[in-house]
């Protein structure tokens, strides 16, 4: 039977999600599989979307922020049972927060709201970055066996790490005999990745691309090149937005991990980047705005 190819694109996770499938199967099977993959990505989107007031993460944030309304002598923490998906994502995020000594933190949502990069449907009162620093951070969260404990008012945005997790979940549904490439706005997974090449963007110019070989099945790239003024990267320790020119790309076994590591490495020193790459068995590529490459293994 001949090799059939299917390419589809949908808007999910706040970006364009592109799926490419190839295999010695008929078109109907490829279409059915693509529908299944998009359904799985949409399921994760509905769980973790900060923009949706109905998502699990929004429900958690409302209860976490409500800690500010408790009586002064009430020091009882908030304890919640969360989904298996949220447990997995939070567990990795909190582990990475500890490893980076706070440089990677999923509680920077208030800073992004203040910078008008996230909606303020939770009605947070934010005048300046000092207001954001008065809220809790990842140190005030524990997550174990599907139970989350929060000890201080805070607000979580899973953003890119949730996008990466959605791609990972979708890729697990693909049979081994079918080639699959999923790209969700820079979060990329290829099941048959060996000898595959990808183009990594490092500048807003259309020609600003570097072709590299895949080093693992997952690749995530982060950069500010599509933002004219407002940086998407926040130092959680100071609340300040970080200027970063170029791009940071990370290869690893999982897109969720790769996406999280791009943010951690952007905020880290060169020595810390090497430590992160070694500890998580990842490979990183930093490309500056002129196209010069620096590797971290």
Which class is 193-297 in CATH?
Answer: alpha beta
3-state secondary structure of 196: coil
Neighbours of 130 (CB within 10 A): 9
The pLDDT tens digits for 49-83 are 999 999 999 999 999 999 888 756 567 899 999 99
Q: What is the CA radius of gyration of the chain?
A: 20
Identify the residue with better confidence: 113 or 96.
Answer: 96
Residues 6+ apart with CB under 8 A from 74: none
- Tell me the mean pLDDT in the region 254-261: 97
Residues 6+ apart with CB under 8 A from 39: none
Q: CATH for 56-157?
A: 1.10.3980.10
The pLDDT tens digits for 85-107 are 999 999 999 999 999 999 999 99
Q: Is the pLDDT of residue 45 over 80?
A: yes
Q: What is the pLDDT of residue 144?
A: 94
Identify the residue with better confidence: 12 or 294.
Answer: 12
Sorted by where each begins, the domain ranges of the chain are 1-50+159-183, 56-157, 193-297
Closest C-alpha among 236, 229, 231 to residue 268: 236
Backbone angles phi, psi at 138, to 5 degrees: -65, -20
Confidence band for 235, pLDDT divided at 50, 70 and 90:
confident
Task: Tell me the CA distances in angstroms from 166 to 40, 173, 289, one per residue in order.
Answer: 7, 11, 29
CA distance 72 to 103: 30
Instruction: Give start and end residues of each alpha helix (H) in 7-83.
Output: 27-48, 56-65
- Over the chain, what is the mean pLDDT? 90
Q: What is the pLDDT of residue 116?
A: 80
Strand intervals (E) in the chain: 4-12, 15-23, 78-81, 141-144, 147-150, 179-184, 187-190, 197-201, 209-213, 218-223, 247-252, 283-287, 293-296
- Tell me the mean pLDDT in the region 124-153: 82
Confidence band for 226, pLDDT divided at 50, 70 and 90:
low
Selection from 126-140, 186-200, 281-295 with the highest mean pLDDT: 186-200
């Amino acid at each position: 039977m001949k090799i059939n190819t299917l390419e589809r694109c949908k808007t999910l996770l706040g970006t364009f999600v592109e799926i490419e499938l190839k295999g010695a199967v008929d078109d109907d099977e490829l279409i059915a599989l693509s529908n299944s993959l998009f359904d799985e990505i949409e399921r994760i989107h509905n769980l973790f979307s900060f923009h949706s007031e109905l998502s699990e993460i929004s429900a958690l944030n409302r209860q976490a922020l409500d800690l500010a309304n408790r009586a002064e002598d009430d020091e009882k923490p908030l304890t919640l049972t969360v989904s298996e998906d949220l447990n997995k994502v939070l567990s990795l995020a909190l582990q990475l927060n500890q490893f980076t000594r706070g440089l990677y933190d999923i509680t920077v949502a208030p800073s992004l709201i203040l910078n008008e990069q996230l909606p303020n449907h939770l009605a947070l009162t934010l005048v300046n970055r000092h207001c954001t620093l008065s809220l809790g951070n990842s140190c005030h969260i524990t997550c174990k066996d599907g139970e989350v404990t929060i000890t201080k008012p805070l607000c979580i945005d899973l953003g890119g790490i949730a996008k990466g997790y959605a791609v990972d979940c979708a890729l697990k549904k693909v049979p081994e005999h079918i080639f699959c490439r999923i790209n969700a706005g820079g979060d990329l997974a290829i099941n048959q990745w060996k000898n595959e090449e990808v183009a990594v963007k490092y500048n807003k110019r259309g020609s600003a691309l570097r072709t590299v070989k895949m080093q693992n099945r997952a690749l995530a790239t982060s950069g500010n090149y599509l933002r004219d003024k407002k940086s998407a990267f926040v130092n959680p320790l100071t609340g300040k937005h970080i200027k970063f020119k170029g791009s940071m790309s990370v290869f690893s076994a999982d897109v969720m991990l790769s996406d999280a590591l791009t943010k951690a490495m952007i905020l880290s020193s060169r020595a810390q980047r090497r430590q992160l790459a070694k500890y998580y068995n990842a490979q990183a590529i930093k490309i500056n705005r002129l196209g010069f490459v620096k590797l971290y293994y």
